[in-house]
Structure 1
Amino acid sequence: MPDDALIAAADELYALAPSDFTAARNSRAQAVRGDDRALSESIRALKKPTPAAWLVNQLVRHRTAELREVLDLGDELRDAQERRDGPELSRLTRTRRTAVAGLGREAAALAEELGASVGRPTLDEVEQTVTAGIADAAATDAVLSGRLLRALMTVGFDPVDLDGAVAGGPAPVAQPMRPVEDIAVRREKKRREQAANEADKAAASARRALDDAEGKIATAERRREEAEHDRDDLEERLRLASKKLTAAEKDLSAREDERDRAAAALKRADSVAQAARAELDEH
């Protein structure tokens, strides 16, 4: 059984940045050497974690809820396997793939927060380790110990190799699997969450469609107002033009009457003039 004092020291050391690990380990070993030589030697024997193991250990400390939620998929997967529920296995496998990838992105962000630079190979090992933690209940405990020394890997249905994977001795073994009732409750909760999320997405899509329709209505109303304004302007111009036309027609009629009267006067004057000249010619 692992020594409690060793575990306590390991918990502190594996929370540190890799660059600080060796000096802190040696300092801690030296500090307890006078009181407990065996503990001092055990602390000095603690190995520096690989970059992927260090990052998984930090997920345990800084993203506990997110990591546990992903690892909890293991119980559901094992339950579905025992029940030989093919559709549920397929769904959970897709969920696992998405969840592990999401946790990988979370790990990259965490590394940046902690001032560490990690590459794609390290993140791939982090995702492999989380996948192994989902596949094997003992690996789940190893991951959650926060004292991993190396990345884990799952191969087929074989148990995950945990030999020398956890500093300070094997991780304490938790209950290998939740009661079926708990798993059923969790599965139903996930189903309801998924239904709620889908309903939220549908509502958001409907809201966008409504906003788009209202925007188009506002544009159409503005165009209608502009058309009404143009119509009213044209009607006013038509009214004025009709009034001018009526006045012009009246004026034209009056001028025609004047012309007719002038033509008649001219005709009478010509007749008088012709008669006068005829009378003149006779004398």
Structure 2
Amino acid sequence: MQREGGRGRDTGEHDVEPVESVLDELYATPPSDFVARREEHAAAARTDGRKEDARAIHAARRPTPAAWAANLLRRSRPEESRRFLELGQALREAHRTLDAAGLKELSAQRRHIVSALSRQAAQLAREAGHQLSQAAQQEVESTLRAVLADPDAADQWAGGRLAGSLTPPSEFPSDTAPAEPAPRELPRPDTRRRTPADRGRDELAERRRKRREELVRAEQAAEKAARQLADRRAEEADAEASLRRTDEEHDRAREEVSAAERRLGQAHEELDRAERERRKAEERRRAAAGALSRAEREARETAREVDRLAGRVR
């Protein structure tokens, strides 16, 4: 039976699980169990002769805790996730059309919903037996802000298979630094005299603008560092899991070698015992052969003596 998508086949003994279903299951699996489950599915695909499926499964990257929580939120709260994606579309449209009233209302919704959904993601993670760190929860919020701001990020999150957290684009207003009109967006003629107070306000506005830019850059750098840290931790966890598997295989091989050595020692003992028994049997055979020869000789001599005596009697 040909499997959906034309990849793989049914052996006739069991139904072949589609790769897409396997990947969906993997990215809903807690990160601590991800590698083991991935290798089980990849091994099953290789056993079935589905090499392409096995490669696709093995290539799946282990999600960070924050990415897993975001995936869990997407799959466990489908209706709320749909409304969140729709909010992102409306918010991006408001930015494109410069609808100030709509933008103000949607921005307030954005901050409220991002906060609420990030708390839901943390709650879902706790219910699954995993407590999110503060840094991981911040990564969830970063991912949700990116989903609102970036259509590509929205598509990635909608698929439910994030391996790492997402970062909002720099041109999208940050929740921590609401957008304000730039003090000198366009040059305009000034028909009145500039007072020291005017210049002071302009300087203050310029300093605020620079501080906002520095804050945005610092937030982006912090989020990037957090993603890199999470990636390194995931790589370390994968390496540790691989080392544990290798240690287990080494221990099993060592036990098998020890058992083989014990069996070899027992076989040598059996061989030595058989050799000793063989030598004893050979000695008994030689002794019996010697006794037989002596008995035959005595029988011949006795027979000759009988013949000799019988001749005298006749």
TM range (shorter): 0.5 to 0.7
Residue in 2 aligned with 1:124?
138
Which of 1 and 2 has greater Rg? 1
- Deviation string 1:14-71 (CA, Å, 9 cap, x unpaired) is 1112222111110110101132112212211211100100001101111122222222
The answer on whether the counterparts of 1:28 and 1:43 sit within 8 Å (CA) in structure 2 is yes
Residue in 1 aligned with 2:61?
47
Q: What is the distance in 1 between the residues matched to 2:61 and 2:19? A: 13
- Deviation string 1:194-239 (CA, Å, 9 cap, x unpaired) is xxxxxxxxxxxxxxxxxxxxxxxxxxxxxxxxxxxxxxxxxxxxxx
Secondary structure at the residue paired with 1:112?
helix
The answer on whether the counterparts of 2:149 and 2:169 sit within 8 Å (CA) in structure 1 is no
Q: What is the distance in 2 between the residues matched to 1:54 and 1:104? A: 12
* Pairing partner for 2:77 from 40, 46, 63: 63
Identity level (%): 39
The total of aligned residue pairs comes to 157
Q: Which runs of 5+ in 1 are unaligned?
A: 159-283
Quote how far apart the aligned CAs of 1:3 are: 9.1
Residue in 2 aligned with 1:32?
45
Residue in 1 aligned with 2:20?
7
Q: What is the distance in 2 between the residues matched to 1:51 and 1:62? A: 16
Q: Which runs of 5+ in 2 are unaligned?
A: 8-17, 173-314
Within a 5 Å distance, the mapping from 1:238-253 to structure 2 comes to none
Residue in 2 aligned with 1:17?
30
Q: What is the distance in 2 between the residues matched to 1:78 and 1:45? A: 33
Quote how far apart the aligned CAs of 1:95 are: 1.2
- Deviation string 1:97-130 (CA, Å, 9 cap, x unpaired) is 1110011111121111111111111111001101
> Structure 1 residue runs of 4+, over 3 Å off?
2-6
Residue in 1 aligned with 2:129?
115
Secondary structure at the residue paired with 1:103?
helix
What amino acid maps onto 2:66 in structure 1? A
The answer on whether the counterparts of 1:49 and 1:150 sit within 8 Å (CA) in structure 2 is yes
Q: What is the distance in 2 between the residues matched to 1:45 and 1:85? A: 44
- Deviation string 1:145-176 (CA, Å, 9 cap, x unpaired) is 11100000012238xxxxxxxxxxxxxxxxxx
| TM-score for both structures, normalised by structure 2 | 0.47
How large is the RMSD of aligned CA atoms in angstroms?
1.9
Q: What is the distance in 2 between the residues matched to 1:46 and 1:83? A: 39
